[in-house]
Every structure is written in C-alpha cells, then in structure tokens.
C-alpha cells in the first residue's frame, strides 16, 4: 500500500540529492534500493527525519502505541553459534538453564500484574528437549492465562522445531496454534542476506526459510512481526535488501504488523562507545525503515536497544511504537545493553507525551485499549 498524502510539508533540504526522493514521497511513489542508498549517504538527517515523520503522520496521526507485556525466555541452551549472541549457553555450561512448563508458570506468577496483555516468548534452540517441550510451554500458559495473547518463537525457532520434530513448517505452526499461539515475534531475521548469515548465524534459518515461516503463518491467519538486527558486518545495501524482502512479502500476504530495527549490542556493558551504533545511525535507520516500508503499518523504536531518550526523539523520525513494559528482558542485556530491563506504564506514557504525541495502550494486534489524554 503506497502512501496517500493528505497534507503537505515545507522542507528545505541541505542535500540536493534528496529532491527526487521528496518528490516521490509527496506523490506516493515507492522508493527503490537506490533511493535508500541516497538516504543512507545524505548528510541531511533532519530532512530525512521530517520526511519519515510526514509519512508516519499519514498512517498513524499523532498516536504512538505501547503494550504491557512480559518477556519469557524458557531456556538459554542453544545449538546455534551466532557471532552476536551473549545469551546462549552450551549444555552444562555455567549459567545454562531450562525452565520446564511448571517453572515457567511459577516465573510468570511471581511477576504477573493485572495490566499485562501479552507473553513474549523466545529462547535458545535447545536440542536436548523435544518439540513437545515447546508446545507444552505454550499450552500450560494458555490454560492458566487464557486472556493473555501468546507471542512466541521466532521464525528461526520454528525452522529448528521442524528439524527436531520431522514435521513441516506448516505442521509445526498448526500444532503451536492449537496449543495457544496467536502470533510470531520478529526475531531470528538478523539481516536477510546469505553472506551475512553464513558468517554471523550459520546454524540458523536461511533467508528463504525465515521468510517462508512468516509466509506460512500469514496464510494460516496469523499476523506477525519483523525485525532487523543492524550495526555489525552488513552493508547499507544489505539493510535495504532486508527491508525489501519484508516489503515484498507484505505485498504478497499483508501479514506483518510492525517492523522493528534492532541496534546490535556489544558483548559487554563495558564496551567502548565505538562498539555501539551511533545515535545518528539509529535515527537514520528508523526513518529510512519508515520511508522504505510503505506497506507496513508501524515502525517500532525499541527502547531496550537505543535507550529511552533516543526512543523519544525517534517519535519525530517515523516511529509509531515504543514496544512495551517488558517486565524483565534478558537477551539484549546479556550482550551489553545499557538500558533498564523494564519500564512502567506511567513511564511509557510520559515518554510518549514528552514528545508531544498521544500515548495509546494497545493489544498485540494494535487494537486500542486506552488513549491517554495529554495534560
């Protein structure tokens, strides 16, 4: 779905290379990979941000969304060897753990609050457990919390389940749906480039396998999420190719709810600033995501990765979602995230309203639960 402008904006770009892109956006035309490279090369970040904000205003007005959710990471034992991961442990290694369904239930009961609407479940590719373990984790939670939406297992995890169970991807998804699965998170995508994946995550799903999981999920009636883990060895062209993979599949199925650019985290919280993505790169990537992905409703600014203040600023660079309360996030913090591991509802509302936006509490599928009036 191309942007259909309903208003005009006054831009004074410092970079003449942006003129043709601005014209395209104003006419509702789709940007190309070459346009994306111009956006990444341009020194005029503010104009790019204004243009992305304009596109977001057409889609979402002044509303910015969040959800009260709980992260659950049932196991960190994993057979994959991803270069960027600090969460994974080998069997028997210090810090390795596996929570069985009753342990997961106890974990949730200790942390449950009345406002939580979503369980976000991702973990390691634990080859020591059968597929039934992963199914029963969902089934147990759904039986005890039938009103909570279960967002579980990345596209890479689904491919792993297919391998250990001998079932097709469709059969795996159908089994998980029967147990209570309602949507897939966007993880496991990293960068959808085989050059990248062979170097950074050689044991995980290929580009086509990841896309096929989400294509199959969409055909089964699920709405899903898509991420992009940027800031390591990928080129700008590969970032843009990743976005185009998502855009093309969205043209085909219409099943993606949101795109989430994730800034790569270093392996240690003591890592130097040079080991982290820059604020300029974070804002530029969020803005370019909004401009390239004309058919995806929302771009999420993930405060866990880039921090609350930069997240607030990103709300004028095309982002329309700040994710959620999380309760306790482990994966990004295991690889050096400097941010808090949770925020309260009041903090998220303050964050959004501080940017002059309207805070909207949502459910998993962007149905509005409560709109907070600005003071």
Q: Which residues are annotated as a binding site for [4Fe-4S] cluster?
A: 78, 82, 85
Q: In the chain, what is the straight-line distance between the N-terminal and C-terminal CA atoms, in Å? A: 35
User: What DSSP letter does each residue of 30-94 carry, written as one string?
Assistant: PPPHHHHHHHHH-S-HHHHHHHHHHHHHHHHTTEEEEE-EEEE--B-B-S---TT-SS-B-TTST
Enumerate the known binding-site residues: 78, 82, 84-85, 190
Tell me the two tokens of residue 32: 């190309």
Residue partners of 140: CB distance under 8 A and separation at least 6? 101, 102, 104, 105
User: How many whole angstroms separate alpha carbon 284 and alpha carbon 2?
Assistant: 21
Enumerate the known binding-site residues for S-adenosyl-L-methionine: 84, 190
Residue partners of 24: CB distance under 8 A and separation at least 6? 30, 31, 35
Residue listed under structure tokens 């990841």: 210
Other CB atoms within 10 A of residue 180 CB? 21
**259 in helix, strand or coil?**
strand
Q: Are strands 358-362 and 368-372 parallel, antiparallel or unpaired?
A: antiparallel
What would you report as the CA-atom Rg of the chain, rounded to the nearest whole angstrom?
Answer: 20
């Amino acid at each position: 779905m191309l942007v259909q402008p309903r208003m005009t904006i006054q831009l004074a770009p410092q970079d003449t290379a942006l003129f043709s892109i601005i014209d395209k956006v104003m006419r509702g035309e789709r940007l190309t990979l070459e346009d994306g490279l111009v956006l990444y090369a341009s020194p005029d970040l503010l104009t790019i941000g204004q243009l992305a904000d304009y596109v977001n205003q057409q889609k979402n007005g002044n509303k910015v969304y969040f959800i009260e959710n709980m992260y659950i990471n049932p196991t960190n034992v994993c057979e994959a060897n991803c270069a960027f991961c600090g969460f994974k442990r080998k069997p028997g290694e210090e810090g390795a753990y596996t929570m069985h369904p009753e342990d997961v239930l106890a974990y949730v009961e200790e942390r449950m609050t009345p406002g939580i609407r979503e369980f976000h479940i991702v973990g390691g590719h634990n080859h020591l457990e059968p597929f039934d373990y992963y199914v029963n984790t969902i089934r147990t939670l759904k039986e005890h919390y039938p009103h909570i939406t279960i967002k579980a297992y990345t596209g890479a995890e689904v491919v792993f389940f297919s391998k250990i169970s001998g079932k097709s991807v469709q059969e795996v998804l159908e089994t998980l749906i029967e147990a209570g699965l309602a949507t897939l998170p966007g993880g496991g995508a990293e960068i959808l480039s085989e050059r990248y994946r062979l170097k950074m995550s050689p044991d995980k799903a290929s580009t086509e396998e990841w896309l096929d999981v989400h294509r199959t999920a969409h055909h089964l009636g699920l709405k899903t999420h898509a991420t992009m883990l940027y800031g390591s060895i990928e080129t700008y062209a590969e970032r843009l190719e990743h976005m185009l993979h998502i855009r093309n599949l969205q043209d085909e199925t219409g099943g993606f709810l949101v795109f989430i650019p994730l800034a790569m985290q270093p392996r240690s919280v003591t890592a130097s600033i040079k080991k982290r993505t820059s604020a300029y790169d974070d804002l530029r990537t969020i803005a370019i995501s909004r401009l390239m992905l004309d058919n995806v409703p929302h771009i999420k600014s993930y405060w866990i990765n880039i921090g609350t203040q930069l997240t607030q600023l990103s709300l004028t660079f095309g982002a329309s979602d700040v994710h959620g309360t999380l309760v306790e996030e482990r994966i990004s913090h295991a690889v050096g995230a400097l941010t808090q591991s949770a925020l309260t509802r009041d903090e998220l509302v303050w964050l959004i309203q501080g940017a002059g936006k309207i805070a909207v509490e949502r459910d998993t599928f962007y149905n509005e639960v409560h709109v907070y009036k600005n003071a």
